[in-house]
Amino acid sequence: MEVLRMESAQEGTNIRTATIYPAAINTQLLEQITDQDVAEKMTALYKQYGISPDRVANVVAFAIDQPEDTNVNEFTIGPTTQPW
């Protein structure tokens, strides 16, 4: 993403980029895990630590709401209680 941003800057197109690194965000991802053992472990993890996808939406909105001359590059989003 940083290379895309740098190329955009050189071309004068002002494309803003942001990379989002989500941790335990409660989404439908768990429903797609086919390995039963993995699904059970992930379900337990998300049950303990998972936070609402609205938190990610809030961060995306923050990045978009910045002035056109401002780029925020990276976000790591996760619950405060998850030890990562």
Q: Where are the beta strands (DSSP E) in 1-84?
A: 19-22, 74-77
- Whether the per-residue pLDDT at 15 is higher than 90: the answer is no
Instruction: Report pLDDT for 33.
Output: 95
The number of distinct structural domains making up the chain is 1
83 inside domain: no
pTM of the predicted model, to two decimals?
A: 0.79
84 inside domain: no
Euclidean distance between the first and final Cα of the chain, in Å? 23
Structural domain of residue 65, as residue ranges?
2-77
Residue 53 in 3-state DSSP? coil
**Residue 74 φ/ψ, nearest 5 degrees:** -135, 145
82 inside domain: no
Alpha-carbon span 84 to 68, nearest angstrom: 33
User: To the nearest whole number, what is the mean pLDDT of the chain?
Assistant: 92
